[in-house]
Amino acid sequence: MELKKYIREIQNFPKEGIGFKDISPLLADGEVFNQVINIVGADARGFLFGAPVAALLKKPFIMVRKPGKLPSEVIKREYALEYGTNELQMHKDAIKPGQTVAIVDDLLATGGTTKAIIELVEELGGEVKKLVFLINLLFVKHEPSLSKYETVSLIKYD
Protein backbone atom coordinates (compact mmCIF):
# COMPACT_ATOMS: atom_id res chain seq x y z
CA MET A 1 0.00 0.00 0.00
CA GLU A 2 1.38 3.38 -0.99
CA LEU A 3 0.84 5.57 2.06
CA LYS A 4 2.13 8.73 0.37
CA LYS A 5 -1.16 9.08 -1.53
CA TYR A 6 -2.88 9.59 1.85
CA ILE A 7 -0.61 12.50 2.79
CA ARG A 8 -1.33 15.87 1.27
CA GLU A 9 1.15 18.68 0.84
CA ILE A 10 0.08 22.16 1.86
CA GLN A 11 2.27 24.79 0.22
CA ASN A 12 3.52 27.78 2.21
CA PHE A 13 2.45 26.39 5.58
CA PRO A 14 3.27 27.15 8.34
CA LYS A 15 5.24 29.85 6.54
CA GLU A 16 6.25 30.92 3.04
CA GLY A 17 8.47 28.40 1.23
CA ILE A 18 7.49 25.37 3.33
CA GLY A 19 5.66 22.37 1.84
CA PHE A 20 3.88 20.96 4.91
CA LYS A 21 3.14 17.22 4.84
CA ASP A 22 -0.37 16.89 6.29
CA ILE A 23 -1.06 13.41 7.70
CA SER A 24 -4.68 14.21 8.64
CA PRO A 25 -6.12 12.18 5.72
CA LEU A 26 -4.00 9.18 6.75
CA LEU A 27 -5.14 9.37 10.37
CA ALA A 28 -8.77 9.85 9.31
CA ASP A 29 -8.78 6.61 7.27
CA GLY A 30 -8.90 3.87 9.91
CA GLU A 31 -8.34 1.05 7.44
CA VAL A 32 -5.21 2.62 5.99
CA PHE A 33 -3.86 3.76 9.36
CA ASN A 34 -4.18 0.23 10.73
CA GLN A 35 -2.56 -1.54 7.77
CA VAL A 36 -1.10 -4.94 8.50
CA ILE A 37 2.57 -5.04 9.32
CA ASN A 38 3.90 -8.57 9.59
CA ILE A 39 6.52 -9.32 12.21
CA VAL A 40 9.36 -11.54 10.92
CA GLY A 41 11.74 -13.37 13.24
CA ALA A 42 14.59 -15.77 12.52
CA ASP A 43 15.29 -19.14 14.08
CA ALA A 44 15.78 -19.29 17.02
CA ARG A 45 16.24 -16.20 19.20
CA GLY A 46 14.28 -14.01 16.79
CA PHE A 47 11.29 -16.13 17.82
CA LEU A 48 11.83 -15.18 21.47
CA PHE A 49 11.37 -11.49 20.70
CA GLY A 50 9.37 -11.44 17.47
CA ALA A 51 6.50 -13.70 18.52
CA PRO A 52 5.67 -11.75 21.71
CA VAL A 53 5.89 -8.43 19.82
CA ALA A 54 3.51 -9.79 17.18
CA ALA A 55 1.13 -11.04 19.88
CA LEU A 56 1.13 -7.70 21.70
CA LEU A 57 0.49 -5.80 18.47
CA LYS A 58 -2.04 -8.39 17.26
CA LYS A 59 -0.06 -8.79 14.05
CA PRO A 60 0.99 -11.92 12.14
CA PHE A 61 4.32 -13.55 13.01
CA ILE A 62 6.33 -15.09 10.17
CA MET A 63 9.07 -17.59 10.90
CA VAL A 64 12.38 -17.69 9.06
CA ARG A 65 13.96 -21.07 9.76
CA LYS A 66 17.12 -23.06 9.32
CA PRO A 67 17.06 -25.72 6.56
CA GLY A 68 14.69 -28.65 6.90
CA LYS A 69 12.39 -27.09 9.52
CA LEU A 70 9.53 -25.75 7.38
CA PRO A 71 7.03 -28.30 6.00
CA SER A 72 5.88 -26.57 2.80
CA GLU A 73 7.60 -25.07 -0.26
CA VAL A 74 10.32 -22.60 0.69
CA ILE A 75 12.61 -19.96 -0.73
CA LYS A 76 16.21 -20.00 0.48
CA ARG A 77 19.02 -17.56 1.10
CA GLU A 78 22.60 -18.42 1.99
CA TYR A 79 24.56 -15.99 4.14
CA ALA A 80 28.09 -15.70 5.48
CA LEU A 81 29.18 -16.36 9.04
CA GLU A 82 32.52 -15.56 10.62
CA TYR A 83 33.41 -19.25 10.22
CA GLY A 84 31.55 -20.35 7.07
CA THR A 85 28.05 -20.09 5.61
CA ASN A 86 24.53 -20.92 6.68
CA GLU A 87 21.09 -20.83 5.08
CA LEU A 88 17.71 -19.41 6.02
CA GLN A 89 14.36 -20.44 4.58
CA MET A 90 10.86 -18.96 4.45
CA HIS A 91 7.61 -20.43 3.16
CA LYS A 92 6.87 -19.28 -0.40
CA ASP A 93 3.43 -18.08 0.67
CA ALA A 94 4.50 -16.36 3.92
CA ILE A 95 4.27 -12.83 2.52
CA LYS A 96 2.06 -11.43 -0.20
CA PRO A 97 3.36 -8.77 -2.61
CA GLY A 98 3.03 -5.29 -1.11
CA GLN A 99 2.84 -6.44 2.51
CA THR A 100 5.06 -4.59 4.93
CA VAL A 101 7.18 -6.18 7.63
CA ALA A 102 9.29 -5.37 10.64
CA ILE A 103 12.18 -7.74 11.27
CA VAL A 104 12.70 -8.44 14.98
CA ASP A 105 15.82 -10.17 16.32
CA ASP A 106 17.95 -10.36 19.42
CA LEU A 107 21.24 -8.98 18.09
CA LEU A 108 22.70 -6.91 15.27
CA ALA A 109 26.39 -7.66 14.74
CA THR A 110 27.58 -7.86 11.11
CA GLY A 111 24.04 -7.89 9.74
CA GLY A 112 24.52 -10.96 7.53
CA THR A 113 21.49 -12.75 8.95
CA THR A 114 19.34 -9.63 8.69
CA LYS A 115 20.42 -9.04 5.08
CA ALA A 116 19.40 -12.62 4.20
CA ILE A 117 15.99 -12.11 5.83
CA ILE A 118 15.49 -8.83 3.93
CA GLU A 119 16.32 -10.60 0.66
CA LEU A 120 13.77 -13.35 1.42
CA VAL A 121 11.06 -10.79 2.23
CA GLU A 122 11.81 -8.75 -0.90
CA GLU A 123 11.91 -11.86 -3.12
CA LEU A 124 8.29 -12.47 -2.13
CA GLY A 125 7.38 -8.85 -2.90
CA GLY A 126 7.27 -7.66 0.70
CA GLU A 127 8.63 -4.35 1.92
CA VAL A 128 10.82 -4.07 5.02
CA LYS A 129 9.78 -1.01 7.05
CA LYS A 130 11.82 -1.44 10.21
CA LEU A 131 14.61 -3.47 11.82
CA VAL A 132 14.22 -4.00 15.57
CA PHE A 133 16.94 -5.48 17.80
CA LEU A 134 17.38 -5.95 21.51
CA ILE A 135 21.15 -5.38 21.18
CA ASN A 136 23.14 -3.47 18.56
CA LEU A 137 26.92 -4.00 18.55
CA LEU A 138 27.94 -0.62 17.17
CA PHE A 139 31.63 -1.51 17.35
CA VAL A 140 31.12 -4.22 14.70
CA LYS A 141 31.00 -3.08 11.07
CA HIS A 142 27.43 -3.66 9.85
CA GLU A 143 26.41 -4.81 6.39
CA PRO A 144 26.27 -1.51 4.40
CA SER A 145 22.94 -2.33 2.73
CA LEU A 146 21.18 -2.17 6.12
CA SER A 147 21.74 1.59 6.41
CA LYS A 148 18.70 2.35 4.23
CA TYR A 149 16.32 0.79 6.78
CA GLU A 150 15.01 2.41 9.93
CA THR A 151 16.71 0.57 12.79
CA VAL A 152 15.70 0.51 16.45
CA SER A 153 17.69 -1.14 19.24
CA LEU A 154 17.08 -1.07 22.97
CA ILE A 155 20.70 -1.66 24.04
CA LYS A 156 23.73 -0.29 22.18
CA TYR A 157 27.35 -1.24 22.75
CA ASP A 158 29.98 1.19 21.39
Catalytically active residues, by annotation: 45, 82
DSSP 6: G
My answer on whether omega of the bond before 14 falls inside 30° of 0, hence cis, is yes
CA atoms within 13 A on the CB side of 94: 29
Q: Which residues does residue 11 pair with via DSSP β-bridges, in sequence order?
A: 19
Other Cβ atoms closer than 10 A to 1: 13
The rounded radius of gyration (Å) of the Cα atoms in the chain is 18
